[in-house]
């Protein structure tokens, strides 16, 4: 069976917690595939590490430092769908966990 796709929807999902990110991506994919016969591509982007260096005691020891890091995990979901189906309504009903940020863009 061939699916006619005329529109592409790109969802960029990012989170500080990798488990929440994978869970929310699976939730989106299951919702899209259950309701419509659409194609979904999953792209994993590299993890962005941001490292902060903090002095332990600001007045005495300049050699004593601590390093902290924040990791941002990112994924891209490409959804190819027919223009007759309303994918935006499905995505607005979706309840993602807190701490997961997503951006939806329509591309052709």
pLDDT of residue 1: 46
Q: In this structure, what DSSP letter does residue 86 have?
A: -
Order of strands across the sheet with 7-15? 39-55, 65-81, 7-15, 100-107
Whole-number average pLDDT of the chain: 84
CA angle 42–48–53, rounded 5-degree value: 165
| Domains recognised in the chain with CATH numbers | 7-107 (3.30.70.600)
Of all residues in the chain, what percent carry a pLDDT higher than 90?
A: 33
pLDDT in tens, 55-107: 888 788 778 889 999 999 999 998 887 776 677 777 777 888 889 998 888 87
* 48, containing H or E segment: strand 39-55
Question: What pTM value is reported for the model?
Answer: 0.77
């Amino acid at each position: 069976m061939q699916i006619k796709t005329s529109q592409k929807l790109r969802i960029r999902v990012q989170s500080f917690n990798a488990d929440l990110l994978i869970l929310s991506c699976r939730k989106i994919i299951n919702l899209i595939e259950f309701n419509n016969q659409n194609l979904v591509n999953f792209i994993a982007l590299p993890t962005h590490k941001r490292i902060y260096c903090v002095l332990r005691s600001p007045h005495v020891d300049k050699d004593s430092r601590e390093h902290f890091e924040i990791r941002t995990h990112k994924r891209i979901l490409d959804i190819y769908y027919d223009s007759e189906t309303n994918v935006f309504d499905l995505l607005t009903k979706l309840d993602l966990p807190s701490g997961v940020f997503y951006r939806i863009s329509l591309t052709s």
